[in-house]
Every structure is written in C-alpha cells, then in structure tokens.
Amino acid sequence: MTIFSTEEQLEQIAKYLRAYARIPHFQDDTVPGSIMEKIIALVRGGIQLPTYDYVDVCIRGNVGWQVKSTKNSTPLTWKRAKVPNAPSLIKASRAGRAEAKVLGDAIIDFCNRHAAHSLARYDLKEIGYSRLIMFPDGGAIYFEKSICTVAEPWVFNKDEYTWHWTAQKVSAIKEQLPSFTGTNLRTGRKSFAWHGLGENQLHFPGEKEWWPDVTIPTAIGEMNFSADGHAIAFRLAKDKVCWDSLTSFLTEAT
C-alpha cells in the first residue's frame, strides 16, 4: 500500500470535511487535528493512535501518516523538541556559527529519531504527511507527501540549514524570548524556529515550501486536483443543518 490516496479517496476526504463543516456550532475556520486523524483513519482503513508518537494514523506493518490541520496563517508546530543536553548546547551555541550548528544538528537529529522510532515501532515501510490547510474564505487544500521510508529514514538533512539566535523583542504588551532560527541554505528562507528558552516548540515555517500548486474552486461542490494527483482543493459548505433536526435524527436513529 502507498501513503498516497487515490482521487476517489481524496474526494471522500473532502466530502467528510464538508459534512463536518455543516454541523451547527462548528468553529468555521478550523478542523481539529483529532477530527482530521479520524477522517484519515476512516478513509484509509487505518487506526488513530492515542500516543505522542510521530505518526498519528497507521496501518501496522505497512504505512503511517503524520496529520496536521491548521488555518493558513497559523504557525505550524512540528513538535515540542526537548533536545538532550539542551542547556549546555544553548550556552555553547552563542559562541559562534559552528557552535550554533551543533545545536541545530541536535534539533534535526531529534526530529529524525522521532520519525525513525515510529517506523520501527509500528513496522512501517513508509510515513506520509497528511495536511489540511484552511483559508478565511472557506477554501481548503488537502495534500499528502512522502516523509520517509525504511530505506531513507531521515525526514530532514541537517547539512541543508544554518542556525542563529534572533534578537530579544520587547513590546508594550509582553517580552518575547529569542528563538533559534534555522535557515534553508538553498532557498535562503527561514525553515525552523525553536523556542528552546520557553516551551521547546519547534515551528516549521519551511513547511509552506511543501504546499502544492492547486487552485481552489469558486463554487462549493467543485474540486480541483494537483498535477501529481496528491492534493485536492475544495470549498467547505457555509450552510449549517438545523440543530433541532440533527438532534432529533441522532435521538431517533437506531
């Protein structure tokens, strides 16, 4: 089995998301990650894992997926990167570029080990990235990307990044601690921001480089696929079902 959904499965994912959007009192601009995981598990015949492992959904002995669902403007958190020996590495990283790269390499190694652990634990051949992006006007893009395999288990190549600390920011509202930023040497753009002086969140703005080139249709019910067939763009329904009708149906259903 491949991590990539067929066009029929992509349409089914979009169908479930449109249906979810019609539930009364739904938060219009987001789909919780747990809901997205349930949809992927349902469509692909996998199981939703109640763990903090790298994969959220998997078919044991076969394939797994890390699932992300956010608004297009929300900083994407890759994970909380609790790097071993972080205090000493942080202190040394301020000495120069070479020392900063040692800390950056440790962050990348931490992420890669987390994925490799899921490959081994669930006996997976491949891990995919399952991603829903929601836009303020009701548009949505869902795409899938191969992250790593048994043959090539590393998600990121640490030699592709250079690292530095940002300056501390102080505003009238609050003080913002410096973040440790990883820049992609090929694109010159910021790929990572590690908040190791706070809650260890690793933001991944470089993920936008993975977003597919696919046009969101103007009409609800229409769908567009990317050229490689691994992404679908659609619109979520804005009309809600009647709350009384829904509760009556659920109460009377057998």
Reported pTM: 0.93
Alpha-carbon gap, residue 176 to 169, rounded angstroms: 5
For residue 128, being part of any structural domain is answered with: yes
- The phi and psi torsions of 141 (rounded to 5 degrees) equal -130, 130
For residue 221, being part of any structural domain is answered with: yes
For residue 84, being part of any structural domain is answered with: yes
Per the structure, the complete domain to which residue 102 belongs is given by 7-252
For residue 211, being part of any structural domain is answered with: yes
The residue among 194, 199, 212, 4 whose CA lies nearest residue 111 is 194
For residue 2, being part of any structural domain is answered with: no
For residue 24, being part of any structural domain is answered with: yes
pLDDT of amino acid 248? 83
Q: What contacts 25, CB < 8 A, 6 or more positions away?
A: 243
For residue 1, being part of any structural domain is answered with: no
Alpha-carbon gap, residue 3 to 129, rounded angstroms: 8
pLDDT of amino acid 251? 86
For residue 194, being part of any structural domain is answered with: yes
State pLDDT tens for residues 124-155: 999 999 999 999 999 999 999 999 999 999 99
CB atoms within 10 A of CB 201: 16
Total domains, the chain: 1
Q: Which residues of the chain have pLDDT under 70?
A: 26-29, 170-175, 254
The residue among 147, 137, 129 whose CA lies nearest residue 233 is 137
